[in-house]
Amino acid sequence: MTASQEVFKSDTANDDRSRVRLWLRLLRASRAIEGELRERLRTTYNVTLPRFDVMAALYREPEGMLMSQLSKYLMVSNGNITGLIDRLTTDGLVHRTLRDGDRRTSVVLLTKTGRENFEQMATSHREWVNELLSSFSPQEAETLAETLKVFASEWERETR
């Protein structure tokens, strides 16, 4: 092996490690934040994080969402969404409609109760996130968010 090859090999190994290090830190950060938000949602509003996530997704779409859209947006399996929506329906926070020409699909909407319920939680959620991410200045947050946006669009392009 020549000297330049040696250098190259060494560099590659370093690159490997830096990306793995990034991934592990990213994972740990989101687990920590997620855990804290889960805990606060539970103790304050007696709601689970998955239920909050579903409601947040539906709140952004006043026209409602298909089961498959929810599944894709939240990056969880179809069967998972079915169960979550079943339970949210039982609790009167969500309802299914069939106002489509396609009888395979069902459009899921927040009920009035669900919407009001979510608005309360969303306010706390926003405050909590700001508290938990307070070590990022707004400018840093903006910059980092932009970096992740670029990552997301690259990801989209590559895994489509």
Q: Which residues bind a second copy (CB under 8 A)?
A: 14-16, 18-23, 25-36, 75, 126-127, 129-130, 132-136, 138, 140-142, 144-145, 147-152, 154-155, 159
Q: Is 97 in the site for DNA (CB under 7 A)?
A: no
| DSSP assignment letter at 65 | E
36 binds, among DNA, a second copy, none (CB under 5 to 8 A by kind): a second copy
Edge-to-edge order in the sheet of strand 107-110: 65-66, 107-110, 94-97
Q: Residue 14 Cβ, how far from DNA at the closest point, in Å?
A: 31
* Out of 37, 96, 122, 132, the residue judged to bind DNA by CB under 7 A: 96
Task: Identify which of residues 77 and 123 has a Cβ nearer to DNA in the complex.
Answer: 77
For every residue of 66-132, DSSP letters joined together read EHHHHHHHHT--HHHHHHHHHHHHHTTSEEEE--SS-TT--EEEE-HHHHHHHHHHHHHHHHHHHHH
Q: Which residue has the tokens 């039982």?
A: 90
- Is 66 a binding residue for DNA by CB under 7 A? The answer is yes
Q: How far is CA 61 from CA 57, 64, 70, 73, 143, in A?
A: 7, 5, 11, 12, 27
Stretch that binds DNA, among 1-9, 18-26, 101-109, 127-135 (CB under 7 A): 101-109
Number of helical (H) and strand (E) elements in the chain, helices listed first: 6, 3
Closest C-alpha to 71, from 89, 84, 88 = 84
Contact mark string toward DNA, 106..145, x via CB under 7 A: x---------------------------------------
- 87 sits near DNA (criterion: CB under 7 A): yes
User: Given the rule CB under 7 A, which residues bind DNA?
Assistant: 35, 38-39, 42, 48-51, 66-69, 71, 75-87, 96, 101-106
